[in-house]
Amino acid sequence: MKNLKATLLSFIGLSAVLLAGCNDKLTVLDPKGPQAQRQADDTMLLITLMGGIVITVVAILIFMLFKYRASKQSADYEPPHIHGHWLVETIMIGIPVIIVIFLSVVSVKSNYIVENVPEGYEDQEPLVIYASSSDWKWHFSYPEQGIETVNYVYIPANRPVEFKLYSFGPITSFWIPQLGGQKYAMSDMVTTLHLAADNPGEFWGRNANFSGRGTAENIFDVKAMTAKEFDEWVTEVHETADPITEEKFDELLEPGHLGKSTYTGTHLEFSPAPHHEHHDDEAAEDHSSHE
């Protein structure tokens, strides 16, 4: 049983070393927007609750192993035949049932929260950005502003953003961890991801789903800025960038990696998004006017 103590100690020691290894906050637990905040809160709740369960199981296990090991007992001890006990079995079914009911309530609430316009931003008109992936790039189209970017996206802080996701190839997953969890982008339909940034700042985003050879570098930069800065940037793009043409866009779609680039106009004009919209139950209804 010395072994067990040693294991426990080394386990605690190891956890300490591992946690010390990451000085900064883990990305997912360092949210910068309401959706990511909700997911981080859920995660912390789960870590606490689940940690409690693991500790309970380990404690019972250690108790049993200490108390009932053969070396502690007389040679002629015969363990009894025990079928079970109604109270014990009720408790060991009942407590998990209660935990699962509690988590189900949290889970359902969170689902509706992350699938809707971010909390606190309901009264604002969301900015619609089409984010489409091609091997292995991200194209961001701003129909409202009439501009398009590759591999980076600027968004106004303090305003809800509605990302319309689809793909020009394999299934990809659009993910900006500090603003909120991911969603798939597929070639035959458009999915919607609601995000918002509480403050100006810079984040990273990536395709999290395996989509072939270039997956690892299928990344993009995200910058949240004040509304004023955002408007200035839009004006600047209109003054300096070239328009996107069908020819140019076809070139961009070629498999490979590209740096960042900026265009006026959007590819949606000559290469529209898949018409099949995957409705998020009731939530999508309100925003259908944006298409």
Partner 1 sequence: MKEFFAQFAIPHPSLLIYIAMASIVFGTIALVAVVTYFKLWGYLWREWITTVDHKKIGIMYLITALVMLFRGGVDAVMLRMQLAVPENTFLEAQHYNEVFTTHGVVMILFMAMPFITFFFNFLVPLQIGARDVAFPRLNNLAFWLFFMGMGLFNISFVIGGSPDSGWTSYFPLAGNEFSTSVGTNYYMIALQIAGLGTLMTGINFITTIMKMRAPGMTLFKMPMFTWSALIANLIIVFAFPVLTVALAMGTMDRLFATNFFTTVNGGMDMLWANLFWVWGHPEVYILILPAFGIFSEVISTFARRNLYGYTSMVWSMIVISVFSFAVWTHHFFTMGQGAFTNSIFSITTMAIAIPTGVKIFNWLFTLYKGKIEMTTPMLYAMHFIPLFTLGGVTGVMLAMSAADYQYHNTMFLVAHFHNVIIPGVVYAMLAGLTFYWPKMFGFMLNEKIGKATVWVMSIGFVLAFIPMYITGLDGQARRMYTYSDATGFSFLNMVSFVGAGIMTVSFIMIVWNIWYSFKNSPRDISSDPWNARGLEWATHTPIPHYNFAITPDVTDASEEAFWDSKKKGTQLFKGKIEDIHMPNNSGQTFVMSVFFFIAGFAFVFSMWYLAIFGLIGILACMAYRSLEDDHGYHIHAHEVEEDEKKHAQKGGAK
Residues 98-127, interacting with partner 1 (CB under 8 A): 100, 103-104, 106-108, 110-116
- Whether residue 284 contacts residue 167, with contact meaning beta carbons closer than 8 Å, is answered with no
Cβ proximity to partner 1: between 19 and 227 the closer is 19
Query: Cα–Cα–Cα angle for 252, 180, 108, nearest 5°?
Result: 130
Largest CA distance in the chain: 93
Q: Which is nearer to partner 1, 38 or 237 (CB)?
A: 38
List 34, 37, 39, 151, residue binding partner 1 (CB under 8 A): 39
What is the arrangement of strands in the sheet containing 180-185, beginning at the earlier edge strand?
A: 152-156, 219-225, 201-207, 172-176, 180-185
Binding part of the chain for partner 1, among 122-130, 200-208, 220-228, 246-254 by CB under 8 A, reads 200-208
C-beta closer to partner 1: residue 212 or 272:
212
Closer to partner 1 at the Cβ: 146 or 274? 274
With binding defined as CB under 8 A, does residue 173 bind partner 1? yes
205 forms bridges with which residues in the sheet? 220
**What does 92-103 look like in DSSP terms, one character per residue?**
HHHHHHHHHHHH
CB of 252 to partner 1, least distance (A): 18
The interface with partner 1 within residues 60-99 (CB under 8 A) comprises 60-61, 64-65, 68-70, 73, 77, 79-84, 88-89, 92-93, 96-97
Report d(CA 269, CA 15) in Å as an integer: 53
Q: Footprint of partner 1 on residues 143-172 (CB under 8 A)?
A: 165, 169-171
Q: Is 286 in the site for partner 1 (CB under 8 A)?
A: no
Q: Find where tokens 């369960």 sit.
A: 53
CA nearest neighbour of 206 among 5, 19, 27, 16: 27
The yes or no reply on residue 188 touching partner 1 (CB under 8 A) is: yes
- Which of 36, 127, 131, 157 binds partner 1 (CB under 8 A)? It is 36
Size of the site for partner 1 (CB under 8 A): 99
Q: How near is the Cβ of 122 to partner 1 at its closest, in Å?
A: 16
Q: Which residue has the tokens 């040679």?
A: 75
Contacts of 184 (CB under 8 A, 6+ apart): 165, 171, 172, 173, 174, 191, 209
The stretch near partner 1 (CB under 8 A) out of 56-64, 153-161, 232-240, 245-253 is: 56-64
Judged by CB, which is closer to partner 1: 229, or 280? 280
Question: Which of the residues 217 through 276 are near partner 1 (CB under 8 A)?
Answer: none
Tokens found for residue 133: 């992936």
Residue 119 CB partners (closer than 8 Å, separation 6+): 34, 38, 113
Q: Quick one: 2 or 228, whose CB is closer to partner 1?
A: 2
